[in-house]
A = this chain, B = another copy of it.
Amino acid sequence: MKELPLSKIYQLLEPGPVVLVTTLRKGHANIMTMSWHMMVEFEPPLIACVLSNANYSFAALRAARECVIAIPALKLAPKVVGIGNCSGRDVDKFKRFGLTPAPAARVAPPLVAECFANLECRVVDTRLVNKFNLFVLEVVKAWSDPAQKHPKTIHHHGYGSFAVDGEMIKLKSIKP
């Protein structure tokens, strides 16, 4: 995997793809599926996200304050949904879904080798965790897979319906 400049991160998350989130707690790496995230700042890249406090990953993120956001392309969609349909309390999801944990450089949770981008994140604000389960993260290192060119992402419309990226259009904008 190739290092990705932190200034480019917003271009990956701003379009609203479904992502995976890895955590590590007591030596146990877990993965969840997440769609409730947004950019908060360009650089250093800040991301807000909401994890249900019923999720096994919620406690892990709250305790360890680190995660990896991994962005899957369309071909991983069945695994992405499967990951969302079970809990790390019951299963080793890396094993069940045949995904490869790869060491991150600056955080303990693993990258997901099959994803086209991986963002190593640290929790930087927890003021809205109690009320809204909302974490603010800083991306401290990021990676992309040069072998995956123009990956199409998926966007959740509820109950397993996803819009796949279609055509790209270009309009004259003065904004990043």
Residues 121-176 of A at the B interface (beta carbon under 8 Å) = 125, 127-128, 131-134, 136, 152-176
Q: How many of A's residues come within 8 Å of B, CB to CB?
A: 55
Q: Does A172 contact B157, Cβ atoms closer than 8 Å?
A: no
Task: Report how far A169 CA is from B163 CA in the complex, Å.
Answer: 6
Chain B residues with Cβ below 8 Å from A29 are none
Give the contacting residue for A85; candidates B133, B163, B164, B173; CB below 8 A.
B173
Q: Which listed residue, B14, B133, B164, B175, touches A168 by the CB 8 Å rule?
A: B164
Q: Tell me the smallest distance from the CB of A115 to a CB of chain B, in Å.
A: 17
Query: Are B165 and A170 in contact, CB atoms less than 8 angstroms apart?
Result: no
Task: Pick the 5 closest A-B CB pairs, nearest first.
Answer: A16-B16, A166-B166, A160-B173, A15-B155, A38-B38
